Amino acid sequence: MNSRRDFLKNLALASAGIALAPSLESFAAAKKDWFDISLAEWSLHKTLFKGDLNNLDFPVVAAKKYGIYGVEYVNQFFKDKANDNNYLTELNMRAKDNGVRNVLIMIDGEGNLGDEDETKRKQAVQNHYKWISAANFLGCHAIRVNAAGKGTPDEVSKRVVESLTTLSDIGKKAGISIIVENHGGISSHGDWLAKTLKAVGSKYCGSLPDLGNFYEYDRYQGVTDLMPYAHGVSAKTHDFDANGNETQIDYERMLKIVKKAKFKGYVGIEYEGSKLSEEEGIFATKKLLERLRPLI
């Protein structure tokens, strides 16, 4: 524990340097931009699963290959390392050495926070504690969690509120926000998730609106519902037309909704398409965001 506290003290001293872009030009650009661009690790999930990239090298690749200086990790790519201080220290150093900010960790596979089985639900909550600690160690601002469970919408909401309240209390002590993504099922109903987050009523509990994860619910209404609670935005993309526009999502309309909510923070690239390679999809998404950002 002492080594972790000492490391965090040192990290705090260096945080100003980490936050800076690696050049005066990019720093000047960052000052006038109303959102920063980060890279969600899931954009490279095929490469990671194939073993052609490992989690430790992710921040290096984000900076050197894509020119992106904010990263969003996915826990399944280092799922046994949450309590490994040596590993996390190395990951931190690789990010710092490349001028990269560790933004958040996306958490999957740790149980349902709305589980109808009380024992399983409480275990799921406890399973997230180590990731709050890891996020704190890495200097992230949040962990992304899921609001899943079986039952009626009201039943699931009640259980999720209880789980999120507990996690938000722990997160507050660590300086880590607990943010929920619209990630399928009832959570992809913007009104339901917004109501659930309002019931938690903590500034350490919010949303991570994914622009693409709406199905039977209108995506533009969903983002509108979730933006008052947003601690980040996930820029989901699948395919692009000849003009570089996403074919399923009106990004100009979406970003206007985001800006109207007075959002300032990271918009994370999450390419999930199949027509372009992961590399091409990331660059196409980045180009789209950079083109629209000064126009809105």
Full strand arrangement of the beta sheet holding 265-271: 205-208, 177-181, 142-145, 101-106, 70-74, 35-40, 265-271, 233-237
pLDDT value of residue 79: 97
pLDDT value of residue 287: 98
Report whether 118 contacts 85 (CB < 8 A).
no
pLDDT value of residue 130: 98
pLDDT value of residue 22: 42
Classified as helix, coil or strand, 256 is helix
| Domain locations along the chain | 33-293
pLDDT value of residue 158: 98
pLDDT (tens, 9 = 90+) of the chain, 296 residues, equals: 444 444 344 444 333 333 333 444 444 444 579 999 999 999 999 999 999 999 999 999 999 999 999 999 999 999 999 999 999 999 999 999 999 999 999 999 999 999 999 999 999 999 999 999 999 999 999 999 999 999 999 999 999 999 999 999 999 999 999 999 999 999 999 999 999 999 999 999 999 999 999 999 999 999 999 999 999 999 999 999 999 999 999 999 999 999 999 999 999 999 999 999 999 999 999 999 999 999 99
Q: How far apart are CA 184 and CA 32, in angstroms?
A: 35
pLDDT value of residue 27: 40
Residue linked to tokens 């935005």: 233
Would you identify the CATH topology of the domain 33-293?
A: TIM Barrel (3.20.20)
